[in-house]
Amino acid sequence: MLSNSGYGTRSDVTKAIRKGKVTVNGVVVKDNGFHVTEDDDIIFDGESAVSKSHLYFMMDKPDGVLTAMEDKRLPTIADFIPANLKNLKLSPVGRLDYHTTGLLIITNDGDLSHRLTSPKYEVPKNYLVTYSGNELGQTQIDEAASGMTLTDMDKPIKLAPAKLELLPNNQAILTLYEGKTHEVRRMISSWGCEVVELRRISIGEVSLPENSEPGSLIELSENQIHSLKAATGL
Ligand code: URA
32-68 tens-digit pLDDT? 999 998 889 999 999 899 888 899 999 999 999 999 9
Residue 168: helix, strand or coil by DSSP? coil
Whether the predicted pLDDT of 10 surpasses 90:
no
pLDDT of residue 118: 95
Atom of ligand 1 nearest to the CA of 185: 3
Return the number of other C-beta atoms located less than 10 Å from residue 129's C-beta: 22
Mean pLDDT of the region 214-232: 97
pTM of the model: 0.91
Specify the pLDDT at position 86. Answer: 86
pLDDT at residue 84 is higher than 90 = no
Contacts of 51 (CB under 8 A, 6+ apart): 1, 4, 5, 36, 38, 42
Calculate how far, in angstroms, residue 138's C-alpha sits from the geometric centre of ligand 1: 22
pLDDT for residue 38: 81
Q: Give the binding-site residues of ligand 1, using a 6 Å CB cut-off.
A: 96-97, 100, 182-185, 198
User: What's the DSSP call for residue 148?
Assistant: -
Q: What is the mean pLDDT of residues 16-38?
A: 93
* pLDDT digit string, tens, across residues 130-183: 999 999 999 999 999 999 999 999 999 999 999 999 999 999 999 999 999 999
Q: Which helix (H) or strand (E) holds 184?
A: helix 183-190
